[in-house]
């Protein structure tokens, strides 16, 4: 089970697989994660025992982002973040530890968190580039 990736009780504003026509030019069958409609400055947290594998600025869709991996091979993504208090690649986090703050960096219509999940043994490519709906796995 995935622990909650953010603080607060905020609505999901875009579900996995939504808006297929918008995502088709990017080679995706629809939205490849979930969007949480939270204000800028909302704390995002680790969803389990993870190693941070990548932190950066994607000038395309994600803006400032964090990618982390569990010991069983699951991958997680937090995107549209503020550019400060980001963890360093190689650092370890346990469930609930701070990861960063929400913002509206990248291709965004306003402040929110984009959260993505790749199940272990994912295969890059395909209609969602290996991403899966995180909701069934969230506790």
pLDDT in 10s for each residue of the chain, 139 residues: 677 788 889 999 999 999 999 988 878 889 999 999 999 999 999 999 999 999 999 887 899 999 999 988 889 999 999 999 999 999 999 999 999 999 999 988 899 999 999 887 666 666 777 888 998 877 6
- CA 42/CA 126 separation, integer angstroms: 32
pLDDT at 128: 79
- CA 80/CA 107 separation, integer angstroms: 8
pLDDT at 21: 94
Q: Which residues contact 107 (CB under 8 A, 6 or more apart)?
A: 60, 61, 62, 63
Q: Collapsing DSSP states into helix, strand and coil, what is residue 22? A: helix
pTM of the model: 0.92
> 81: burial class by Cβ within 10 Å (0-12, 13-18, 19+)?
buried
pLDDT at 123: 65
pLDDT at 124: 66
Q: Do 33 and 77 contact (CB within 8 A), yes or no?
A: yes
pLDDT at 126: 66
- CA 48/CA 5 separation, integer angstroms: 9
pLDDT at 49: 94
- CA 139/CA 135 separation, integer angstroms: 9
pLDDT at 7: 87
Q: Do 29 and 17 contact (CB within 8 A), yes or no?
A: yes
């Amino acid at each position: 089970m995935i622990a909650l990736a953010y603080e607060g009780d905020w609505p999901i504003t875009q579900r996995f697989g939504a808006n297929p026509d918008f995502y088709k030019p990017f080679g995706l069958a629809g939205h490849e994660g979930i969007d949480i409609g939270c204000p800028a400055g909302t704390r995002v947290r680790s969803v389990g025992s993870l190693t941070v594998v990548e932190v950066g600025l994607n000038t395309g869709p994600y803006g400032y982002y964090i990618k982390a991996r569990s010991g069983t091979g699951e991958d997680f993504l937090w995107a549209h973040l503020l550019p400060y208090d980001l963890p360093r690649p190689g650092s370890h986090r346990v469930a609930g530890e701070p990861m960063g703050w929400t913002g509206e960096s990248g291709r965004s219509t306003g402040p929110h968190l984009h959260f993505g999940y790749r199940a272990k043994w994912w295969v890059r490519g395909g209609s969602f580039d290996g991403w899966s709906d995180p909701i069934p796995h969230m506790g």
